[in-house]
Amino acid sequence: MQMSGQRPLVSFIVSVYNLERYIGACLDSIIIQPFDDYEIVLVNNNSTDGSDAICREYAKHNKQIRYYALTGESIFGRAVIYGTQKACGQYIHYIDGDDMLAPGAYGEIANILRNNAPDVLFGRFSTVLEESIINFTDTSYQTERINGRDKDQALEYLTKVQPFNIATWRLIFSRKLREYYNASIKSLKTPANIYHDVYVSIRTLLSAHSVHYVDMLVYLYRVRSSSISRIPPPKAVSECCKLLHSLTLLMRCVAKTEQERGFVRVYMEQFRYQLIAALCTVSNEQLTESAAEIDRYLEQKNLEDTDTSSKDYGCSVIDTLLSEGTVVGLASLRVQYFNIIEQMARKVLTKKGHIYIAPTGHIGLYLKTAFEASNLSFSGFFDNDVQKNGMLADGIPVYLPAAVKKIAGDKPITILIVSGYQNVREELRRQFIALGIDESDLLFVEF
C-alpha cells in the first residue's frame, strides 16, 4: 500500500446499480491484482437490491475501499462522475460493477505507469458471455505504431485500423485529464447520453500527450444482453444525434491537427450510419418523439460554435437539423435515405435468390428491418466473429464468411455490406471476392 500522505498509483472507480450477482467478483478481481498501490472508490447509485450490503461488507474488511452510497434518483452516469470527484490516485481506471479485471494484468501495467508515465494506457479486452448472447470482439494492435510515438501518429494508426472499440472502462488515464469527466456534471439535470462514454473517451485521447498500448488482456467485459440487439430505434435516433452534436463541437473547438480531426471523424461516420439505419425504421409518431428529445438536449447547449458549414469540421446531419429544424430535418433525412434503400431493394429483387447482410451489429439489424419494409427477405448474416457463428441474430443465422462457399450454389446470391467503417467495408469486399463471390453480387449500402 502507498505510504501515508502519498497519492495511490491508481484509483479504481467502481460504479454499482443493482449488481448483487456480480459486484463481489468485480471487487475480488481488483483485490487479487499483483500490486497494492491503489484505492477502490466504490459508488452505489441507489441500488434497490442487495448491492449495498455486499459493498459495505467489502469496505469493512478492506481499508483500500472507500464506499459511497448515493441517494436520490439513480441517474445514468452519476456514480461514475461522483467517483471521479472523490478519486485521489495518480491514474484513474473505471470498472463497471458487473465487469472484472483480467487476472494479473496490473503487474505489468503498474510498472509501465511508474516507469513511462503515459497520459493514457489501454490494453485488450475480452467478453464474458451469458447464455445465448452474441458478443462484440476486440483485436490486437501493433505496439510499435503506438508506444513511443507522437500522439498524433498513434491516433492516425488507430483511425486506420477501425473498429477500435472505445469506452471509459478501456482507458487508464492520468489524473490531470479527469477534468473532462468532471465537466460532465453539468449534464446531470437530465440522464446522460448512452453514448456519453464514447464522447468522453475521445475527448480524453485528444487531450493526452502520450498514449501507451499493452498487448495483453486487461479487462473482462460482461455482456448481459446481446450487444447487437437493437436499442429501440427512436432512442437510437435521439442518442446518435446528441453524440454527433457533441463530436461536432469536438471537431470545431478541441481537435487541432488533421490526425485528431481524422480520429473524431471516423466515429462521426460510424454513428451517422447508425443514425441513418435507425431513422429508416421509425414511424412518424416515433420521429416526433425523437425530435422532441433532441430539442430538449439542444436547448441546454451553446450552439454558437456549432457551425457545420465546412465539410471537414462538421456533420451533415447536424447541419440539416440546425438549419431546417429538428422535426422537418429528421423527416427530410428519412425520406432521402429510405429512397436509397428502396432503389437498392428493387435492384436486389430483380436478381431473386438468397440475400445476406454483412456484418451484424446495430447498423445491420436496423437496415434489415428497413429493407424488409421494401419486401426484401434475408437468409442470414455474415460476420468474422467466430463466437457468432451459428447463432441467431434477429431471427436469422449468422455465418462466418467462409461459409459462402457452401451456401453459394446455382441460385443467385446478393450480399449487402453495411458497416459504417470504410476500411471494414473494403476488407469485407476483398474477403468475399477471394472466396469466389462475384463483385457484382456485392452491394455497398452507402449514404
pLDDT in tens, 389-413: 888 888 899 999 999 998 877 778 9
What CATH number is given to the structural domain containing 370?
3.40.50.20
Residues 262 and 326 reside in one and the same domain: yes
Question: Could you give the CA distance from residue 115 to residue 118 in angstroms, rounded to a whole number?
Answer: 9
**CA 12 → CA 1, 9, 109, 140, 169, distances in Å?**
14, 10, 13, 24, 10
Q: What is the pTM of this model?
A: 0.87
What percentage of the chain has pLDDT greater than the value 90? 66
Provide the domain count of the chain: 3
Q: Are residues 119 and 193 in the same domain?
A: yes
Q: Half-sphere exposure of 286 toward its Cβ, with a 13 Å CA cutoff?
A: 14
State residue 157's pLDDT score: 96
For residues 104 and 201, state if they share a domain: yes
* CATH number of the domain that residue 59 is part of: 3.90.550.10
Look at residue 191 in the predicted model and tell me its pLDDT.
47
Query: pLDDT of 275-297, one tens digit each?
Result: 999 999 999 999 999 999 999 88
pLDDT tens-digit map of 79-131: 888 999 999 999 999 999 999 999 999 999 999 999 999 999 999 998 876 65
Read off the pLDDT of each residue in 214-238 and give the average, rounded to a whole number: 81
Confidence of residue 5 (pLDDT cuts 50, 70, 90): low
Which of 90-94, 131-135, 138-142, 230-234 has the weakest average pLDDT? 131-135
What 3-state class would DSSP assign to 114? helix
Q: Please, which residues bridge with residue 120 across strands?
A: 173, 211
Q: What pLDDT, on the 0 to 100 scale, is given for residue 195?
A: 82
Would you state the pLDDT for residue 411? 76
pLDDT digits (tens, 9 = 90+) for 350-387: 988 899 999 988 899 999 999 999 999 999 999 998 87
**Mean pLDDT of all residues in the chain?**
88
- Looking at residue 193, its pLDDT comes to 67
Position 188 scores a pLDDT of 39
Q: Are residues 318 and 354 in the same domain?
A: no
For residue 74, the model assigns a pLDDT of 77
- 132 and 248, same domain (yes or no): no
Q: How confident is the model at residue 181 (pLDDT cuts 50, 70, 90)?
A: low
- pLDDT digit string, tens, across residues 186-202: 443 444 567 888 888 99
pLDDT digits (tens, 9 = 90+) for 31-77: 999 999 999 999 999 999 999 999 999 999 999 999 999 998 877 77
Domain boundary among 173, 201, 223: 223
Burial of 12 (0-12, 13-18, 19+ CB in 10 A): buried
Does residue 1 fall inside a structural domain?
A: no
Environment class of 379 (CB within 10 Å of its CB; exposed 0-12, middle 13-18, buried 19+):
middle
In a shared domain, residues 170 and 86: yes
Q: Would you say residue 5 lies in a domain? A: no
Domain range spanning residue 254?
233-332
The answer as to whether 24 is a domain residue is: yes
Residues 119 and 185 in one domain: yes
Q: What angle do CA 24, 25, 27 make, to 5 degrees?
A: 65
